[in-house]
Amino acid sequence: MSQTSQYTEENIRSLDWKEHIRMRPGMYIGKLGDGSSADDGIYILLKEVIDNCIDEFVMGAGKTIEITIKDKQVSVRDYGRGIPLGKVVDVVSKMNTGGKYDSRAFKKSVGLNGVGTKAVNALSSYFKVESNRDNKTKAAEFEMGNLINDEPAEASSKRKGTKVSFVPDDTIFKNYKFRSEYVERMLKNYVYLNPGLTIVFNGEKFYSENGLKDLLEDSTNESDMLYPIIHLRGNDIEVAITHSRTQYSEEYHSFVNGQNTTQGGTHLAAFREAIVKTLRDFYGKNYEASDIRKSIIAAVSIKVMEPVFESQTKTKLGSTDMGGGLPTVRTYVNDFIGTQLDNFLHKNAEVAEILQRKILQAERERKELSGIRKLAKERAKKASLHNKKLRDCRVHLGDMKNDRRLESTLFITEGDSASGSITKSRDVNTQAVFSLRGKPLNSYGMSKKIVYENEEFNLLQAALNIEESLEDLRYNNIVIATDADVDGMHIRLLLITFFLQFFPELIKEGHLYILQTPLFRVRDKKETIYCYSEEERKAAIDKLRGKPEITRFKGLGEISPDEFKHFIGDDIRLDPVMLDKAMSIENLLKFYMGKNTPDRQEFIINNLRVELDLAEEK
């Protein structure tokens, strides 16, 4: 008979605020990460501080926010009202303390629970807050949430406002670094949603005059837009809409009170419904919803009194009411779109005609694909997707879904040995493996029909659950894990081509990565060092001295599962796949995957010369 664990008074613990945050950081900031993903914890820390500055701006206090990030230290300065001097320590170190509980001071705020800045404080090795108001300055410093310096208020001529400086704790955020691309994307969203606000980041100024219209223009190449952006504004709502010439699925940017709700929510569901109803009524045709929304690129922002989100990271709106005596979110959005979009289309007959042609084209393509799609689904079922090609993870089961969805990862790899190593090494709770058979097809220039006819693409699409839209994407992180040789690079390129051709929003929204695995193992009897570059290999040899054993990994299959778990665990290195807005997807694919062989050869030769020159300089 097994011995039952003892459960006594000694098992009961009471944690103070900072201990709880540090023990369960995921409850407060989602996943941790090292900064390679836009939703990693270090960006949530930054966002929590900036949100307070935005709330000041919304209340009419302070039009500029200054942000610097240098050597892992972050500083954020606003020119708002400044924290009341007698409460400076409390608002960053006492839970359930803050101005957001008083709707007279903050009417349509993002941060309502008084938690955000406390989480930043607790998860930082160094944290300083300084408030300037009433011709005085008050500052306090902390280490991991512990107060180490509480300076008395003193006379000051500084402009009013608040400055917060912090260094994320590297024992929690391991090997982290801030990627300027992600920070800039976040800051652009803030200025799109707050016309008149200026944000200065490391000397670069961000400002928007046209709100969500600027967002779509900056995120979508003009040549890919089927018609000029439809931009509609109301008291508590703003939308921007266009359709893509080349994209197949739907792409949305949604916001509530300035917060980027990456997982949508009640407002986005209402918007998608409203678009369909309005266009059906306008054209007097009962078009399929999928035909109306196919290839749509849109942004929607609403303001809600005391919004309810489904998690502390505020990525999905749960509120059903607008508040302040307004109707439900669904009714409010439907009424606005039903009136304003209908008016726009009546006044812009050319856009209305283009849009209807797009819907009819989508209808024809859907009907042409209907038989193929049915057969493809049957093939996927017969292939026992979840048993053979896909080794799934537990994150989609039970209560774990909401708690760890942001950590869900699908590794796409090639070959039995490589997929076997990853499968044996992975975290079965959050990491899944999809095994390719040989090199995938070059899908450049092909229609969506090929996705259903090609077994690999059909099964991959089914595994990701992205046939209609990204709304039900099963994995937050999609990681291409191939060998670091010519064949592996080719497979990477073919997979990226597939996603760019049919699901570019996966890349635009930051879901696609390349797994970095070590090229060398350098070890002696006491220590083993894994090296990801020639420079790291030389440094490891110098460190170990003597004649250490050096192993060159030629493929993923050569790395044992015991070793592999280090490379896909806490120390995982991921390179995000990012799009350069300056080049359209169509031109990008044409250059790299088309038949312009002489141009591509010249590009390779010129870049190879640069690499050789750099090597010689070293």
**Same domain assignment for residues 439 and 574:** yes
Nearest in space to 448 (alpha carbons), one of 496, 497, 502, 378: 502
Q: Which two tokens stand for residue 80?
A: 């708002």
**Same domain assignment for residues 545 and 564:** no
**Same domain assignment for residues 69 and 196:** yes
- Picking from 156, 172, 206, the residue at the C-terminal end of a domain is 206
The pTM (predicted TM-score) of the whole model is 0.80
| Domain-located, residue 373 | no
**Same domain assignment for residues 187 and 46:** yes
**Same domain assignment for residues 81 and 194:** yes
Range of the domain at 190: 17-206
Q: Is the pLDDT of residue 334 over 60?
A: yes
**Same domain assignment for residues 308 and 351:** yes
**Same domain assignment for residues 216 and 358:** yes
Predicted confidence at residue 595, as pLDDT, reads 66
| Domain-located, residue 381 | no
Q: What is the DSSP letter of 208?
A: -
| Domain-located, residue 184 | yes
Bridge-based pairing state of the strands 198-201 and 124-133: unpaired
Helix (H, G, I), strand (E, B) or coil at 411: strand
| Domain-located, residue 374 | no
Predicted confidence at residue 382, as pLDDT, reads 61
| Domain-located, residue 379 | no
Nearest in space to 336 (alpha carbons), one of 227, 434, 238: 238
| Domain-located, residue 2 | no
CB distance 521 to 530 below 8 Å: yes
Q: Which of 33-47, 90-104, 233-247, 441-455 has the lowest mean pLDDT?
A: 90-104
**Hey, CA dihedral for 84, 89, 92, 98, is it positive or negative?**
negative
**Same domain assignment for residues 192 and 236:** no
Q: State the pLDDT confidence band at 358, using cuts at 50, 70 and 90.
A: very high
**Same domain assignment for residues 48 and 105:** yes
Report the distance separating Cα 126 and Cα 141, nearest Å: 7
| Domain-located, residue 10 | no
Report the Cα 327 to chain-centroid distance in Å.
31
**Same domain assignment for residues 52 and 120:** yes
CB distance 17 to 94 below 8 Å: yes
**Same domain assignment for residues 438 and 537:** no
| Domain-located, residue 442 | yes
- Picking from 206, 221, 248, the residue at the C-terminal end of a domain is 206
Which residues on adjacent β-strands are paired with residue 255? 260, 301
Q: Which two tokens stand for residue 608?
A: 């190879």
Q: What is the pLDDT of residues 383-437, one digit of tens each?
A: 554 456 888 888 876 545 555 777 889 999 987 777 888 888 899 999 999 988 8
Q: Which of 102-106, 339-343, 544-548 has the lowest mean pLDDT?
A: 102-106
**Same domain assignment for residues 95 and 188:** yes
Task: Provide the number of structural domains found in the chain.
Answer: 5
